[in-house]
Structure 1
Amino acid sequence: MSMTSNFAVVYDACVLYPAPLRDLLMRLALTDLYRAKWTNQIHDEWVRNLLARRPELSADRLAGTRELMNRSVRDSLVFGYEHLIESIELPDPDDRHVVAAAIHSGSEAIITFNMKDFPEAALKEFNVEAIHPDDFVVDLFDLNAGKVLAAVADHRASLKNPPKSPSEYLTTLSAQGLTQTVLILTQYSLAI
């Protein structure tokens, strides 16, 4: 995978659901190393699942998060992909909208934890691949370590309630499934 600022990816709802990972992915999207994409349907899915699991959260606050995401990342919201959904075959038909958004937006990858839901054989004909968020961050680091470290440092610095030391922050990332990323970042803990 060769990434440039023309490289576009669609964030699946599952990577936007956990706040620590969503925040990191948003900060990485602002590096201009790639173009991040999503749809209102993807937003609806992560917000609905989060409110179902954590009813104490405010729907209005999550709507504000969603709006901030749309405003912060240039051309992130994909429209007009719906006509492609029927032509896509996946193990779970409910995931087809994510692939349709990737095709329509010219995205080369879907960032997801649910690798089995997006089998390589089903995506290959569309020139799209599913990438685990840990592999994605490692690839970004290989591409431009400085920009990734700056995004990570910015993310950690934004955590004020409570603030986190570098090691506490890395523990949080590890809990998000970013084990390879944490192994790399551990060597740079002074920079984050």
Structure 2
Amino acid sequence: MNSGFPDTAAECDPLVASHLLPQRVVLDTCVLMSTILKNLLLRLAQSGIFEPVWADYIGQEWRRNASRVWAVSDKDIAVQWQDMQTAFPQADMGIVGEFETGLSKSDRKDWHVIAAGRAALALHPGQSVCILTRNLRDFNRSELRLLGLSLLDPDQFLVKCYELNPDLLVQLLALIPDDAVKIGRPREPLETVLKRERLFRLNSLIAQDVSAAA
């Protein structure tokens, strides 16, 4: 199975070029802001595909933005965050300001995300750590590579998951229409939801496989 999409980032990030999944994945706030994507990623983590990583400021940022964007009470958002903390007790790197030391090439507002990745590397030496974000341009790949970190967007990451374990991903993707209904959206075809979530490569790959199997 191959997505058929060229990826120039593969030239400078071996993990992007390979079919390997990172062992630990820093979930940037932006990927947690979509309930659909958040649920899918956390279910993958619960299945043992990867270990999620975040830090204190990512939690603060998510709680603040989620409450505002979703028009949900601060109390409800706090409960959701605590549920995530309970489900993944090793995910939170805490306050990681010390790991921002020496950063200069990536966008300053995202140093805390890189710091979470560096903290995970320090805590789990020898394991691969990746930053998962929609804001690829805010991160300098050369700087990350020197630190031992990789960078992927959700579409790239989920394509890798699908290529390595298609049955599991298909099983979890089947839950997405119900997730959409729970947050007040109409029930829609999976293809429609994936496109809205900007998971174009994943959608194309699934469509190819469905067509080939027909």
Instruction: Place the TM-score, normalised by the shorter chain, in its bin.
Output: 0.7 to 0.9
Cα 1:147–1:112, aligned 2, differ >3 Å: closer, same or farther? same
2:76 corresponds in structure 1 to 61
Cα 1:22–1:145, aligned 2, differ >3 Å: closer, same or farther? same
Please report the TM-score for the alignment, with normalisation by the length of structure 2. Answer: 0.77
Equivalent residue for 1:40, pick from 53, 56, 59: 56
Give the letter for the 2:55 counterpart. T
Q: Does 1:49 align with 2:65?
A: yes
CA distance in 2, matches of 1:30, 1:38: 15
1:185 corresponds in structure 2 to 206
Q: Which runs of 5+ in 2 are unaligned?
A: 1-14, 122-127
CA distance in 2, matches of 1:122, 1:46: 25
Please report the TM-score for the alignment, with normalisation by the length of structure 1. Answer: 0.85
Please list, as runs of the form range in 1=range in 2, the aligned pairs for 1:1-192 lying within 5 A after superposition: 1=15, 2-3=19-20, 7-54=23-70, 56-79=71-94, 81-106=96-121, 108-161=129-182, 164-165=187-188, 167=189, 169-186=190-207, 187-188=209-210
Larger radius of gyration: 2
Cα 1:43–1:31, aligned 2, differ >3 Å: closer, same or farther? same
CA distance in 2, matches of 1:188, 1:77: 38
Give the letter for the 2:25 counterpart. V
CA distance in 2, matches of 1:101, 1:111: 12
Give the letter for the 1:90 counterpart. K
How many pairs were matched up? 185
Q: Which runs of 5+ in 1 are unaligned?
A: none
